[in-house]
Amino acid sequence: MKNRRSFLQAAFYSSLGSALISFPDLTFGHNSKNSGIVMQPDEGETYIVRENTPITIKVSKKTQGVDSVSICTEEILPGNGIAIHKHLNEDEIFFFHRGDGIFLLEDSEIKVKEGCSAFVPKGTWHGLKNTGKEVIVFTFGYCPSGFEDFFRQIGTLKGTPFRAKSPEELKAIAAKYGMVYK
């Protein structure tokens, strides 16, 4: 477990590249903008974006005041996925912790499994299909932060009755956050 954690931490920091220049100094045990943030597995704001699809916002511009990067987690059931889309304003990173599937990147279909990571520059088409038999669990984030508010807009806060948005509502929210679907 320690080797996997070290690998994931190294992959996270190397994938962020230049974004780390403006990332706050990390001092574990504190939770302010100037000293870093540590979130436990059960912490964060969880929104249900499709029935049975939770997204948890761990680090965000709105909640913690972090401008450089946001961090979220998501779980995707077998047979489900993320529609092909692109972000006009943010780079996105992914770290897959469990499950396997197909990651769509521009015109390529790439098999992903536990331990894989992906970097998607802004303006790049991407999506995900869970083709496996177990839930895909992954961490993802945006640079700069702010896009995580999209999930607050389209989702229903966990613990409240789920309300699906209409196609018109989803289209308007996507446009507001610079997301284009293929």
What's the pLDDT score for residue 33? 53
How many angstroms separate the Cα of 2 from the Cα of each of 5, 7, 9, 37, 141? 5, 9, 10, 20, 22
Instruction: Assign 153 a pLDDT band (cuts: 50, 70, 90).
Output: very high
Of 164, 127, 137, 167, residue with least CA distance to 49:
164
pLDDT, one tens digit per residue, over 62-106 is 999 999 999 999 999 999 999 999 999 999 999 999 999 999 999
Is residue 5 over pLDDT 60? Answer: no
Which pLDDT does position 60 carry in this prediction? 96
Which pLDDT belongs to residue 43?
A: 97
Contact 104, 111 (CB under 8 A): no
First CA to last CA distance, the chain:
38
Q: What class does CATH assign to 2-181?
A: mainly beta
CA distance linking residue 114 with residue 116, whole number of Å: 6
Q: pLDDT band at residue 51, thresholds of 50, 70 and 90?
A: confident
Instruction: Give the pLDDT confidence of 12-48 residue by residue, as tens digits.
Output: 444 444 333 333 333 333 344 568 999 999 999 999 9
Question: What was the pLDDT predicted at 34?
Answer: 60
CA 8 to chain centre: 15
Instruction: Compute the mean pLDDT over every residue in the chain, rounded to the nearest whole number.
Output: 86
Which residue(s) pair with 91 in the sheet?
A: 143
Dihedral, CA atoms, 181, 117, 60, 158, nearest 10 degrees? 70
167: pLDDT strictly greater than 70: yes
pLDDT of residue 106: 98
pLDDT recorded at residue 4:
47
